[in-house]
Amino acid sequence: AQSVSQHNHHVILSEAASLELGCNYSYGGTVNLFWYVQYPGQHLQLLLKYFSGDPLVKGIKGFEAEFIKSKFSFNLRKPSVQWSDTAEYFCAVNANSGNTPLVFGKGTRLSVIA
Amino acid sequence: GAGVSQSPSNKVTEKGKDVELRCDPISGHTALYWYRQRLGQGLEFLIYFQGNSAPDKSGLPSDRFSAERTGESVSTLTIQRTQQEDSAVYLCASSFSFLAPGLFFGSGTQLSVL
């Protein structure tokens, strides 16, 4: 069975600091990878996704994630965070074949302080 | 509709009562998913529908939980004889098809069992 680990429970950064949120998954086959974001008081929305091709994926609002197959990782990055990036970030994975639903990590809460 | 709609947004119930949660997916989306998010936890997969059928019910925590979907639209998640550990946010998501990229989430139903 697939599983997703997000090791950082809560990250606190100052504005303009660089961000990297870790995501590791366990599954031996081909996977689809996602990052979702939940801003305060809003519902979950897709930030970026990886299916195949270039392992460096660009998402909305300046976010990017890099798929490193050898490390089973899909870390989320942003060079310079803003206060408006304060949110909860969820990594998710599903197998690229068969009927498997998305499996989510426990999430990482990002607090950006001015 | 414009997005995934869930009702009620909040539900407070007494232990032992039955509750019914409703999800209206985006029109035309054949795949529908239910997740649960307990406080401080990640999203826990419960069940998904492809059309009206539910190929994977493995995530349902107990036989007190059931879900149905009619007409490839509305889905209801029923929890019988609620327990305090059922308290959580219940999230519904839909996608164009099961293998379509990304899910569109509703705002969730906050269930509190007293």
pLDDT more than 70, % of chain B: 96
pLDDT tens figures, B18-68: 999 999 999 989 889 999 998 877 789 899 898 888 877 888 999 999 999
- Residue contact B48–A90, C-beta within 8 A: no
Q: A-contacting residues of B 39-98, CB under 8 Å? A: 40-45, 48, 50, 55-56, 59, 91, 93, 98
Does residue A113 have a pLDDT over 60? Answer: yes
Contacts of A93 in chain B (CB under 8 A): none
Separation of alpha carbons B100 and B94, rounded Å: 10
Separation of alpha carbons B98 and B100, rounded Å: 6
Long-range contacts, stretch B10-14, CB < 8 angstroms, 24+ apart = B10/B109, B10/B110, B10/B112, B11/B109, B11/B110, B11/B111, B11/B112, B12/B112, B12/B114, B13/B82, B13/B111, B13/B112, B13/B113, B13/B114, B14/B82, B14/B113, B14/B114
User: Could you tell me which residue, B73 or B72, shows the higher pLDDT?
Assistant: B73
pLDDT tens figures, A7-17: 889 999 999 99
Instruction: Chain A: give the shortest CA distance to residue B55, in Å.
Output: 8
Contacts of A101 in chain B (CB under 8 A): 33, 45, 48, 56, 59
Comparing alpha-carbon positions, the chain B residue that sits nearest to A109 is: B40
